């Protein structure tokens, strides 16, 4: 047995492939959506309660920071959705090679960012 193996793994020196980044972002976007769910439910409740709460909510959502948060949540949803479709395709053995996995990772990142920009421009 070789005793020259490192005792501590230097995680900052490991180069993660693109499918690994997509996997981490998929998990991160899921956590973001889960943690934002109470806020989103409160926004829905406030928008339906009365005209006064609706207009107050519209004023809050015109704030640039609120728009940035909304765009971030839109990205989280779209990335999670696109990556979920990618993982379903992998589970159904529709993309089994390494080249297809890398290509689908690029498509997930590109489509989610493109849709986020398009929806963000439309909303802002």
40 is written with which tokens?
């989103």
How does pLDDT run across 1-20, given as a tens digit for each residue?
A: 567 766 677 777 778 899 99
List the one residue out of 83, 62, 79 whose CA is nearest residue 117: 79
Q: Which domain holds residue 116?
A: 64-123
**Position 73 in a domain:** yes
**Position 44 in a domain:** no
How does pLDDT run across 79-114, given as a tens digit for each residue?
A: 999 999 999 999 998 887 889 989 999 999 999 999
**Position 4 in a domain:** no
**Position 84 in a domain:** yes
Cβ atoms of 61 and 123 within 8 Å: the answer is no
Q: What is the distance between the terminal CA atoms of the chain, rounded to a whole angstrom? A: 61
At residue 10, the pLDDT reads 74
**Position 87 in a domain:** yes
Domain count, the chain: 1
**Position 5 in a domain:** no
**Position 53 in a domain:** no
**Position 103 in a domain:** yes
pTM: 0.84
89 is written with which tokens?
């395709």
Q: At what angle do helices 98-123 and 18-49 cross, to 10 degrees?
A: 30
The CA-atom distances, in angstroms, between 47 and each of 32, 36, 73 are: 22, 17, 18
- Percentage helix, strand, coil, to 5, in the chain? 80, 0, 20
Buried-state track 7-32, b at ≥16 Cβ within 10 A, e below 16: eeeeeeeeeeeebeebbebbeebeeb
Measure the CA angle with vertex 41, ends 24 and 72; round to 5°: 35
């Amino acid at each position: 047995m070789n005793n020259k193996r490192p005792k501590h793994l230097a995680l900052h020196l490991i180069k993660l492939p693109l499918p690994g980044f997509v996997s981490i972002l998929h998990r991160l976007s899921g956590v973001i959506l889960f943690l934002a769910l109470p806020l989103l439910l409160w926004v829905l409740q406030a928008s339906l309660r009365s005209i006064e709460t609706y207009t107050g909510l519209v004023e809050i959502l015109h704030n640039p920071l609120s728009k940035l948060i909304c765009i971030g949540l839109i990205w989280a949803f779209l990335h999670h959705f696109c990556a979920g479709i990618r993982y379903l395709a992998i589970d159904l053995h529709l993309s089994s090679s390494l080249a297809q996995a890398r290509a689908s990772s690029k498509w997930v990142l590109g489509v989610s960012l493109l849709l986020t920009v398009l929806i963000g421009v439309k909303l802002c």
